[in-house]
Amino acid sequence: MKTGIIPQIRQIEAGGRPISLRDYHLDGSVTASFARAAEIFLDNGPLEGAGRIRYEKGEMGEEAYRISAKAEEIVIRAASGRGLMYALFTLSELDWVNDGALCEFEAQDAPTLSERALSDDISRGQIPTAAAFYALIRRLARYKYNTYMPYMEDVFRFRAVPAWGLYSDPMDAQEWRDIIRYAAEWNITVRPIVNLLGHFDKMAHIRELQPLALRRADGSLTDCMDPTNPQVRKVIRAMLEEIVDCFGPGVIHCGGDEPVGLTEVFGQEEGGRLYIGHYAWVHGVLKELGCTMMMYADFFAPPWGDYSVPVERVRELPEDIRFVFWDYAVRDAYPWVDALHAQRIRLYLSPGSWNWSGFCCDIRNCYGNTKGLLKADGGRCEGMVMSSWGDGGDTLRVLAAPGEAIGGNYSWNAQSDYSYEELYLLLHRSLYGIGADEARKLETIYHYQGMVPDPAAFRQEMWRDPLRLAGMTLPGGAEKLCAALEDAKRALEEMTPQRNAACFHALACAVGRALFTARKLLLLPAKMPETVEEALPCADAALRLAGELQALRELHRALWFETNRSSDWEICAARYDDLYDRLMIFSRNARLRRFWEVRKKAFEPERNE
């Protein structure tokens, strides 16, 4: 019997008589203690046998559990319904990885970290439908998260500040209360992330909110609110009152990351003073409202950039603040982890799901980053916040699912010894119900067989104006990458997922966009054509690409609305439409005799300014 699941079980011994979950049923002791127990097994087949799966309350940690699976009955011991739920998910996962052919076993499990959260960016691009939110909550519960943290720059509808999120399809408090209620039924706590200083760029361009923005000496806008403006505090207090009224007492994450404009305008010393004063005030407001505060730590421990102050200054903020250190790179060492622990603060770690840099999740980097960051910490932090970002807004957010599974594995069991290959195969088995051979055929979609040295640049290449020269070259050539992606696309089309269909089908958009970009690099000129004979094939290629782009746009649109509200679809659609127009312009100009006079400048490489 295979015992490897996600998250990895800490102790399990299997052997003895064969058993099948179909030979058991959920006893009343289970359903009375966890009302949604039967839903866990919807994809496992009916549990209608004579044997009992029963629950005994025992003395252990709140989230710990033990399973004693015998031919006669399966006994789950846990201290609470939460531990019972985790045990039931373990049974379901073991059944999946063994195709229903289990044997008697004993398991004992408990989490490494008491707080295991997903930070989910719903502000940049896509706001899920209620059904998609509920599917995500169930997936997080399966991977034994206990907290969901929606990142809401501008997608909460504030009564006191109606201009906030005016053009972003924001959600009102009742919609959030419905999600909070549903999540609680799956033992998931919903705690918001509301950025109260930086990442103000979208709001800064709304007339009513623009006076809150910090400006440079030349009058240009930064992406920060102005902490010297008294009106900023008035607005933030009103916002926090509504947030707490909706989400209730508890932790409120108030952002604080990447306030580049603050030190740019005021310098390091004064900028540091203003930052610390601002967040000390926010902390005080939250304390009045019965809440505790969480915030990012990068102003004191920056993984990149030159906007920070010395790490020791973190101690100038109230000692009960919970700091989240994020670093999404795969590194040999993470020295900021030790530096922050040396300040004796309440520290949480945040690796990344790596779904934002390319067309889908970079599973290899997510694995290396998550495992490496937790290893560097060595069990000292209070919790982990897996970060899923939506930078650019066009990569379908459900493509973060592999990263969610990886985060669940290491936040539950930080000592997990799965190799990359083992975890890669397990997550495809768990998420989609596909076997090892099928999963290996999809790896090109995630990693391009190593032929794309910079996936982020490759993603931007898709949108590059064809009247400009290509901005990148591919080792091995675009033709080889096209062939590999075509193979992966055909393999994907032949597969049928057993579960999480929306996440799986989104891979079709990912491979389609990657293939289009590779073909664009292959077919359009890397240097200016010198003759009509060289230009005409490029004109024909641009027409073909324009047709392919229209089909891809419709696929992207259908998959977007399968799991999302309208939110920022118009912005994404405009990028497709703009590129389509440029391809048509390119094709027309490539056929004109005055092409070289009129378009010569357009073929000059872009300059970095």
What mean pLDDT is predicted for residues 572-595? 88
More confident residue, 392 or 608: 392
Looking at this protein, which amino acid is placed at residue 189? T
> So what's the pLDDT on residue 86?
98
What are the tens digits of pLDDT across the range 306-342?
999 999 999 999 999 999 999 999 999 999 999 999 9
> Does residue 483 share a domain with residue 366?
no
Q: Select from 525, 523, 440 the least CA-distant residue to 484.
A: 440
What are the tens digits of pLDDT across the range 11-43?
999 999 999 999 999 999 999 999 999 999 999
Q: Where are the alpha helices (DSSP H) in 46-129?
A: 81-97
The neighbouring-strand residues paired with 75 are: 54, 68
476 pLDDT above the threshold of 90: no
> So what's the pLDDT on residue 601?
56
Contact 75, 67 (CB under 8 A): yes
What mean pLDDT is predicted for residues 492-509? 98
CATH number of the domain that 36 lies in? 3.30.379.10
> Does residue 446 share a domain with residue 340?
no
Give 296's contacts (C-beta < 8 A, 6+ positions apart).
Answer: 255, 256, 257, 323, 324, 325, 326
In this prediction, residue 592 has a pLDDT band, given cuts at 50, 70 and 90, of: confident
> Does residue 586 share a domain with residue 526?
yes
Last residue of a domain, one of 75, 109, 143: 109
Asked whether residue 217 is domain-assigned, the answer is yes
605 pLDDT above the threshold of 80: no
What mean pLDDT is predicted for residues 217-245? 98
User: And the tokens for 291?
Assistant: 């809440």
> Dihedral angle at the C-alpha atoms of 525, 527, 532, 533, nearest 10 degrees?
-60
| Opening angle at CA 91, ends 86 and 96, nearest 5 | 120
Cα–Cα distance measured from residue 117 to residue 350, given in angstroms and rounded to the nearest whole number: 9
CATH number of the domain that 158 lies in? 3.20.20.80
> Does residue 263 share a domain with residue 141?
yes
> Does residue 283 share a domain with residue 239?
yes
Cα–Cα distance measured from residue 196 to residue 215, given in angstroms and rounded to the nearest whole number: 16
> So what's the pLDDT on residue 467?
84
DSSP state of 23: G
What are the tens digits of pLDDT across the range 138-195?
999 999 999 999 999 899 999 999 999 999 899 999 999 999 999 999 999 999 999 9
Contact 425, 454 (CB under 8 A): no
603 pLDDT above the threshold of 80: no
Asked whether residue 502 is domain-assigned, the answer is yes
Residue-range definition of the domain harbouring residue 516: 437-603
C-alpha 6, offset from chain centre: 18
Residue 287: its H or E element: helix 260-288
Asked whether residue 431 is domain-assigned, the answer is no
Name the domain count of the chain.
3
User: And the tokens for 58?
Assistant: 């025992």
Cα–Cα distance measured from residue 197 to residue 274, given in angstroms and rounded to the nearest whole number: 11
In this prediction, residue 595 has a pLDDT band, given cuts at 50, 70 and 90, of: low
The neighbouring-strand residues paired with 348 are: 324, 383
Cα–Cα distance measured from residue 91 to residue 20, given in angstroms and rounded to the nearest whole number: 11
User: And the tokens for 79?
Assistant: 């201290």
In this prediction, residue 469 has a pLDDT band, given cuts at 50, 70 and 90, of: confident
In this prediction, residue 473 has a pLDDT band, given cuts at 50, 70 and 90, of: confident
Q: Select from 119, 93, 105, 121 the least CA-distant residue to 19.
A: 105
> Does residue 393 share a domain with residue 298?
yes
Average pLDDT taken over every residue of the chain: 95
> Does residue 541 share a domain with residue 525?
yes
Contact 2, 98 (CB under 8 A): yes
Instruction: Count the residues in the chain.
Output: 609
Asked whether residue 429 is domain-assigned, the answer is no
Contact 317, 279 (CB under 8 A): yes
> So what's the pLDDT on residue 339?
98
> So what's the pLDDT on residue 186?
98
Question: What per-residue string of b and e applies to 260-298 under the rule 16 or more CB within 10 Å gives b?
Answer: bbbbebbeeeebbbbbbebbeebbebbeeeebbbbbbbb
What are the tens digits of pLDDT across the range 396-408?
999 999 999 999 9
> Does residue 338 share a domain with residue 458?
no
Cα–Cα distance measured from residue 314 to residue 319, given in angstroms and rounded to the nearest whole number: 9
> Does residue 252 share a domain with residue 214?
yes
Contact 351, 383 (CB under 8 A): no
Q: Select from 476, 591, 576 the least CA-distant residue to 532.
A: 591
Rounded to two decimals, what is the model's pTM? Answer: 0.96
In this prediction, residue 608 has a pLDDT band, given cuts at 50, 70 and 90, of: very low
Asked whether residue 157 is domain-assigned, the answer is yes
Asked whether residue 425 is domain-assigned, the answer is no
Residue 93: phi and psi, rounded to 5, are -65, -40
Asked whether residue 452 is domain-assigned, the answer is yes
> So what's the pLDDT on residue 124?
86
Strands (E), 361-413: 383-388
> Does residue 105 share a domain with residue 147?
no
Write down the residue that tokens 């019997």 correspond to.
Answer: 1
Q: Select from 119, 162, 172 the least CA-distant residue to 565.
A: 172
> Does residue 101 share a domain with residue 149?
no
Last residue of a domain, one of 109, 135, 153: 109
> Does residue 164 share a domain with residue 50?
no
609 pLDDT above the threshold of 90: no
